[in-house]
Amino acid sequence: MLLLAFGLLNDTTTTKPQQLDEVAVVSRSQGSKRSIKGNVASIDEHLKELNHVSLVRRGSYAWEPVVNSMQTERISITIDGMKIFYACTDKMDPVTSYVESGNLQSILLNSGLNGNPQATGNIGGSLDLKLRRAGFDGDDFHMGVDAGYESNGNLQVYGADAAVSKKSFYTNGGVSYRHAGNYKEGGGREILFSQFQKVNAYDNLGFRLSEQDAIESTFIYDRATNVGYPALNMDVAKAEAFITSLSYKRHLEEKLVQSWETKAYYNHITHVMDDTQRPNVQIHMDMPGESWTTGLYSLVGAQKGIHKLTGNYDLYYNRLFADMTMYPGGAAPMYMVTWPDVGTLNTGLALNDYIQLGKAHAVNVSAKLAWQQQRLNSQEGYQALSVFFPGMKQQYHQLTGRIAANYQLSTLNSQFSIGMGWGNRAPTVTEAYGYYLNNTFDQYDYIGNPHLKNESAIELNGSYQFKIQNSKFKIDCNAFFFSDYIIGLFEPRLSAMTVAAEGVKVYGNIPHATIANFSLTYGWDVLPWLKWNTRLGYSLGRDNEGEPLPLISPFAYTTNLNVRLGRLWGKVELQGNARQSNFGRKYGEMPTAAWAIVNLSANYHFSIFTSQLTLRAGIENLLDKRYTSYADWCDIPQKGRNIYMNLSVEL
């Protein structure tokens, strides 16, 4: 199910709240799920609020979103429906790092296989970062300024944006700047190489051609420099993205077709790694990577009786190139191609039908079919990989698809939903054609396997929500049963390349794997001004030998008290994980200890003349506890005590 651009041609409007989806509202309006830090929060901090999402940290910046315990390989991330692919072979730059909170209206999460027709290759779920557009019906003129500071790491965030909205034209744009030094863990020790700095500028335009149609465009420029990654052996000198799109939207009054949008887009990412800041580098390496994507989609929304249909056709071409030059002191440089300039042409057709069976129940069915062709354009990269896979081809194609259905039943006080689906995905460029990519998690060099089979999964999910007097309970669970699960497998016959690596793993398919996630949420309105919320979560992952998979959350809990007194709102929160007893030992994971932290936050909303101001302040990790979670790459510690404050002004 999905938030569609129905009705007028302003930004997304919710048709009805849905259970499988969650929305983190990033923009100014007060939403139920958004980071307590408000506008200056990073996208990662907004993502943390979503139920099915966790984040893998390699540093203080650019965390990797994980949906239903599945990382980037198994999920789809789009920006306003546009495909975009990260450019770093070490996953230092998930695509969420190339936009800023100021660019976004909301982040839409579809859990599992069901949902977003614009997602391709998603098994765990899909995230669509919806851009903020002023629309034709907003205030004539609007301006906002944000400034924030955090004590741990001396983080400073500044942002300004403006919007002009007329009947036939709108534009909104802004700039922001984010800068932090090294942060400190609990106890005060500084975590070296955890600094970052980022600049972002964007502009959206809209021209109304008639009562029914409009043209819209987007431009985003994002540039991060001098970014440190304490969990890795290298940092980033520059990570830069250009994101542009042009779309045509039409609102129809027809009996059947109600809306139609066609968008063409282009994005280009440049990512340059840097090891010159690190001491004791045995061999200096240059490791640049680039990603280009151009594509289009055409989305149609229709209504026929009890059916609400969405159809989407998409086509994109993506090119990924990365190489590595090593400079051993004195001797000749060593060069190899790590992503062999892979060109992927992918086209897909998706169909969603939301059927309102009656007042109380509905069924949502979604399906997608996609075909893709890949070519290794680097002759040198192709020849290098052929040493390990003699006789391999230079061109491959894959067919992928998914189909899922979900049934919802609502009564006065409860909501029940059950769903199932089947889907498969093609291997990523790293899994199929990656060449000697070092993984600091397990200290192995990974080589891609062009002969991998598509990975497929069957999903079962269910949730039940009910209200009793002033409290609300919700149980949510899902399970994914994989076939041909893609994972790196030990290859003792091969020799590692990275100095001090343990050995080589080659990606392969294991016959089965299972991932399951459970969560229980409880909310109690104790008093009109006092709310108590609790969330408990647990996940498990097993491979075909019954061994635990890595990066699966142990038992996790959050409980908080929210107080609202007039314009002042405050929260006390306890957050923690149990000891990770099921850890992926076979995959090089180390267990993490149990931890718990206390957070305090408050915000105060007031107005001066016509301006609206919000002042937020809080203390994260009040007791300055030193801790690390299962999702911290190489067990890098989380922040110690952090006092933050920020001010948002809207004129």
Partner 1 sequence: MIINTFVSLLFVIFTLSACDSKEENVVPITIPTDVECCSAEETFLAYTFLHNGYLKEIESLRDTIDGKYALSVYSRSGKLHVGYNDIFFALTKISNQGYVRDFSVTEITPLMNMSAMGMKHSTPTASESTTYDESFPAVQHAWVSFVMSSTENDYWELSYKASTKNQSTIHENSQLEVNAIAAGQAWLKSFKVGNDTYYLSLVNPTDWQTGRNTIQAYVSKKSSPATTPYALASETFTIEIDPRMPDMSNHTSPDNTPLTKQADGSYQGNINLTMTGLWRIHLTVKDAEGNIVAGEEELSSLYWDVTI
The residues of the shown chain that bind partner 1, judged by CB under 8 A, are: 283, 326, 328, 331-337, 380, 382-384, 386-388, 390, 436, 493-497, 499-500
Instruction: Identify which of residues 47 and 337 has a Cβ nearer to partner 1 in the complex.
Output: 337
DSSP calls for 252-315:
---SSEEEEEEEEEEEEEEEEEE-TTSSS-SSEEE-EEEEEEEEEEEEEEEEETTEEEEEEEEE
Beta bridge partners of 174: 161, 202
Tokens of 429: 């460029």
3-state helix, strand, coil in the chain (%, to 5): 5, 60, 35
Instruction: Identify which of residues 499 and 596 has a Cβ nearer to partner 1 in the complex.
Output: 499
Helix residue spans in 36-109 (DSSP H): 43-47
3-state secondary structure of 489: strand
Least distance CB 337 / partner 1 (angstroms): 8
3-state secondary structure of 488: strand
Least distance CB 449 / partner 1 (angstroms): 14
Least distance CB 497 / partner 1 (angstroms): 5
Query: Which of 121, 155, 161, 107 has the alpha carbon at shortest distance from 138?
Result: 161
**Beta strands, E only, 545-610:** 556-565, 568-577, 595-608
Instruction: Identify which of residues 296 and 385 has a Cβ nearer to partner 1 in the complex.
Output: 385
3-state secondary structure of 199: strand
Instruction: Identify which of residues 289 and 637 has a Cβ nearer to partner 1 in the complex.
Output: 289
Least distance CB 438 / partner 1 (angstroms): 12
Q: How far is CA 79 from CA 108, 531, 565, in A?
A: 10, 34, 37
Tokens of 460: 């079962």
Q: How far is Cα 514 from Cα 47, in angstroms, rounded to an integer?
A: 24
Instruction: Identify which of residues 336 and 651 has a Cβ nearer to partner 1 in the complex.
Output: 336
Instruction: Identify which of residues 331 and 608 has a Cβ nearer to partner 1 in the complex.
Output: 331
Least distance CB 495 / partner 1 (angstroms): 4
Q: How far is Cα 633 from Cα 374, in angstroms, rounded to an integer?
A: 31
3-state secondary structure of 47: helix
Least distance CB 384 / partner 1 (angstroms): 5
Least distance CB 490 / partner 1 (angstroms): 15
Instruction: Identify which of residues 335 and 606 has a Cβ nearer to partner 1 in the complex.
Output: 335
Sheet strands side by side (includes 82-83): 21-25, 104-111, 125-131, 75-79, 82-83
Task: Please name the helix (run of DSSP H) or strand (run of DSSP E) that holds residue 201, with its range, or none.
Answer: strand 196-208
Instruction: Identify which of residues 329 and 566 has a Cβ nearer to partner 1 in the complex.
Output: 329
Least distance CB 327 / partner 1 (angstroms): 9
Query: How far from the centroid of its chain's Cα atoms is residue 479's Cα?
Result: 20
Instruction: Identify which of residues 358 and 391 has a Cβ nearer to partner 1 in the complex.
Output: 391
Least distance CB 504 / partner 1 (angstroms): 10
